[in-house]
Amino acid sequence: MSVFLSVFLCFTAAIISSAWADFDVIGEQPLSKIAIHKTVLALSDSASIGAYPSLLGSKAEDTQWVTVNLVSPDPSVDDWVGVFSPAKLNSSTCPPVDDPKGRNKPYICSAPIKYKYANHSNSNYSKTGKTTLKFKLINQRADFSFALFSGGLSSPKLVAISNSISFANPKAPFYPRLAQGKTWDEMTVTWTSGYDISEATPFVQWGITGDRKTLSPARTLTFYQNDMWLSCKNCWLA
């Protein structure tokens, strides 16, 4: 049996990650309520947000729960915490636009991949300004940071940014998929990895248990962040 292979090298795009958020009602994406491009800076020295553990997947897990501790000097019921990946979220990561002076440049050009209201696990947060939230993260190839916002989802004010945390091996191959090939004696194995073709040679070792194994080279298809960005440029401006 011949094996037909392909590999998808997937470079992290913030846009891709929105695929793991849940949909509320058909057609309404909860993340779409966040007017992230309107974010204004309101960083406060007495506010803090910290996430741990800082190293995820140390036992080769591809998902892990993360604990986020919050302290806000000025808590409110509509404070929320957004998860960002890649972790770096200021405007230095914005793609170049036709606006040389950067007048209309938003402070944050990425978008949170998940969020929770700060009062999610403790309704006393709006009085005490202290709480702990838990987030389940998947290895999606980039590091993560958490940001505390006030002002609700519609006029976010960035109050504090956490340390960044990451998976031990952000490039590890995951999610093997098996499918029938194009002909009756072909089988397709697909997986997703963060390795560039210049860093690692993808192949599959296969055969009957106990028998000699055959190595089959794999074909790759690479997507870059810009591939996503261009096709979805106006998605969040609506």
Q: Give the footprint of ligand NAG on this chain (CB under 6 A).
A: 77-78, 88, 90-92, 117, 119, 122-124, 126
C-beta of 127 vs 213, nearer to ligand NAG: 127
DSSP structural state of residue 101: T
Helix intervals (H) in the chain: 14-17, 125-128, 225-231
CA distance 203 to 192: 13
Give least dist CB 85 to ligand NAG, A.
Answer: 15
Is the Cβ of residue 108 or residue 137 nearer to ligand NAG in the bound state? Answer: 108
Residue 37 has what DSSP assignment?
G
- Considering beta carbons, is residue 78 or 227 the nearer one to ligand NAG? 78
Least distance to ligand NAG, CB of residue 23, Å: 19
Buried b (16+ CB within 10 A) or exposed e, 114-140: bbbbbbeeeeebbeebebebebebbbb
What residue is closest to ligand NAG based on CB?
123
Q: What angle do CA 115, 118, 24 make, to 5 degrees?
A: 40
Rounded to a whole number of angstroms, the minimum distance from the CB of residue 5 to ligand NAG is 39
E-state strands within the chain: 2-10, 40-41, 48-52, 55-56, 63-71, 80-84, 114-117, 130-138, 145-150, 157-161, 166-167, 174-180, 186-193, 203-206, 214-217, 219-223
Shorter beta-carbon distance to ligand NAG: residue 125 or 191: 125
Measured from the CB atom, is 58 or 121 closer to ligand NAG? 121
- Please report how close the Cβ of residue 59 comes to ligand NAG at its closest, in angstroms: 30
CB of 102 to ligand NAG, least distance (A): 9
CB of 130 to ligand NAG, least distance (A): 9
Nearer to ligand NAG, 2 or 90 (CB): 90
Q: Which is nearer to ligand NAG, 137 or 158 (CB)?
A: 158
Q: How far is the CB of 89 from ligand NAG (least distance, A)?
A: 8
Measure the CA–CA gap between 187 and 33, rounded to whole angstroms: 42
Residue keyed to tokens 């974010």: 39
What type of residue sits at position 49? I
CA distance 101 to 36: 21
